[in-house]
Amino acid sequence: MATQKHVDVVTVGAGWTAGILAQQFTAANMDVISIEAGPQRWATEDFEHNHDSLRYTLRKAMMFDLNRETWTWRPNPNKPSLPIRQFGSFHPGQGIGGAGIHWAAQTWRFYPSDFNYRTHHIERYGEEKLPEGNMIQDWPLDYADLEPYYTQSEYDIGISGQVGNLGGTIIEGGNPFEGPHQRPYPLPPLVRSKAADMFSAASREMGYHPFPQPAAILSEAYRDISGRERSGCIYCGFCTRFGCEVDAKASANASHIPLALETGRYHIRTNCKVIRVESNKDGLATGVTYIDQTTGEEHFQPADIVILSAYTLSNVRLLLLSSSDSHPNGLGNDQDRVGKNYTYQLIGGPVTGLFKGQRFNSYMGNSCLQDLIHDFNADNFDHSDLDFIGGASISCGGGEKEPVTSTLNMPVFDMEKDGSAGDEDGDGNQGTRPRPPIASEVGSLAGAGTQWGQAWKDNLRENWDSVTGIGIQGESLPYTDQFLDLDPTYTDNMGQPLLRLTYDFHDNDYKLYRYIAQRCKEIMDVMNPDHVVTTTELSPYNVHSYQSTHCTGGAIMGDSPENSVTNRYGQVWDTPNLFVTGAALYPQNPGMNPTGTLLALAYWQADAIKNQYLREPNHLITY
């Protein structure tokens, strides 16, 4: 095994958080190497002609190679697990930039109450309101701690949006429920879609507070932290699961990574798979062992600081795989906390409306063209008389209705002609029938399956661009029976155990969905469609239909080794020179995309490592 030159910092992965850390550390004259399992890729060379739905949307060209590594899943500890053989529920990426290349770029700040979730709900409703078997806990930091870092990341990469709370003053047109911002977003919102305008008009009529989606997509040209002026969005419609051909969509390899590389102190080794973090008899990390996947050779990269900055599931798996004499159960796992508090995201489309004769041009842009309301997100509404806690964002008007998969996902509207087992009242709507999971994201024809042949063609021809839906994104809570661990049966192509996911929805999820779905139906009714398809009940979780890549938790931060894997800086309790970044740190997942917060956390962590940890290396930061 070859031993490489010693460096100050080695990161596992070269995505969003690794890019931010590399830029911050190299600016402080530190030497950094990222070990990246995927290939190198850059906008101008790789994304100029990438409008290939077959390659990117169906065949997942930017995602993990499931022939080498996948995950197993079971709904609860009493069931057997099986490997995930094709992409479905989530889509982790590989390559320089990570999932930040093909993300949708919805960029949020979590609510102040999200950070003290347990305390907030107990103080307002009593502990008996918390669901049975929960593992809910407060974060070890609060919104005020992260606010300066939210602002820094928003200006470094360029966020488009309308602030709703500027220094405590509520601003018309923004989100009135959000925590206070120091500064407005650097750019105005993206162009709004026609469906978003209709949704907002209906929401205002009902007394709600619609606002445009905050987005890490430039609404106009902007000079970011790299000093380079990037183009504004051209609304091409090939965004999520695609790289941005004009760099309007923010990513680490559009900003931070080039800046770090220019210093000469940062290097990336691509197509190299880290298989273990090594540790010595004192319990400290000494570096990482990796396989060069082009040659099959094994290498050791020594470093003073090791940072796990890959995808959530990869970070957790690597902690568990890195057992040693000093850490027999894996790193961070001396108190059996690794894998706990695994959470996800409650995603659904409760209602779809047909507006005959309307043309929404919904093939343009991406989901960031939507408007939303947060009147029913988090604890922005009174739960005293409700049988659940938590909430969800409600949105409408996203674009990116690309041709290949959207044709598999058409709702059936002409019930008199085509029939439907779900048309309970004969009014041409599908009533309360729970629709089967839509599997179009994996290229399957196992969608609703209620219309074929000429009827399907006529529906597609007449209604494809006259349909819009209202969607939800809800929070996910941790429970004792949902967790991550190593599978005892299945292994990857190198013989290492796969990561096993034990997860399913709980009663709180079903009740939350049922309530929010009704709010969605009420808004759609005010929008006045010609026909409506509703899905009023949540189906059990499955891994074969895409929902969200927002896998969170498993290496959570906390105020004690007894309830967490890391401290408030992502520093592993039992291995002080090992840090974890990203959404694996979240004790539970709010009803918003996790990326905006993990970017702010990366800046927060870089600041702590430079200005606190390096004063006393190999010791826990205690302030």
pLDDT at 21 over 80: yes
pLDDT at 195 over 60: yes
pLDDT value, residue 451:
67
**Average pLDDT of 344-361?**
95
**Torsion angle of C-alpha atoms 449, 454, 459, 462, degrees rounded to 10:** 160
The predicted-structure confidence for 96-137, as pLDDT tens digits, reads as follows: 999 999 999 999 999 999 999 999 999 999 999 999 999 999
pLDDT value, residue 485:
98
Catalytic residues: 550
Residue 516 CA to chain centroid, in angstroms? 21
pLDDT band (50, 70, 90) for residue 454:
confident
pLDDT at 448 over 80: no
The predicted-structure confidence for 233-244, as pLDDT tens digits, reads as follows: 999 999 999 999
pLDDT at 413 over 60: yes
Rounded distance between C-alpha atoms, residue 100 and residue 88, angstroms: 19
**Average pLDDT of 421-446?**
36
The predicted-structure confidence for 159-183, as pLDDT tens digits, reads as follows: 999 999 999 999 999 999 999 999 9
Phi, psi torsion values for 19, nearest 5 degrees = -65, -45
The predicted-structure confidence for 459-485, as pLDDT tens digits, reads as follows: 888 999 999 999 999 999 999 999 999
pLDDT band (50, 70, 90) for residue 434:
very low
pLDDT band (50, 70, 90) for residue 427:
very low
Strands across the sheet containing 467-474: 211-212, 371-373, 392-396, 467-474, 346-354, 531-534
The predicted-structure confidence for 545-568, as pLDDT tens digits, reads as follows: 889 999 999 999 999 999 999 999
Q: CA-based Rg of the chain, rounded to a whole angstrom?
A: 24
Token pair, residue 57, equals 């949307």
pLDDT at 382 over 50: yes
Cα dist from 135 to 337, 567, 568, whole Å: 12, 17, 18
**Closest CA relative to residue 550, chosen from 514, 587, 519, 593:** 593
pLDDT band (50, 70, 90) for residue 428:
very low
Rounded distance between C-alpha atoms, residue 599 and residue 150, angstroms: 8
Question: What is the sign, positive or negative, of the torsion defined by CA atoms of 117, 123, 129, 130?
Answer: positive
pLDDT band (50, 70, 90) for residue 414:
low
Treating both helix axes as pointing N-terminal to C-terminal, what angle do 194-205 and 507-527 enclose, rounded to 10 degrees?
100
pLDDT value, residue 25:
98
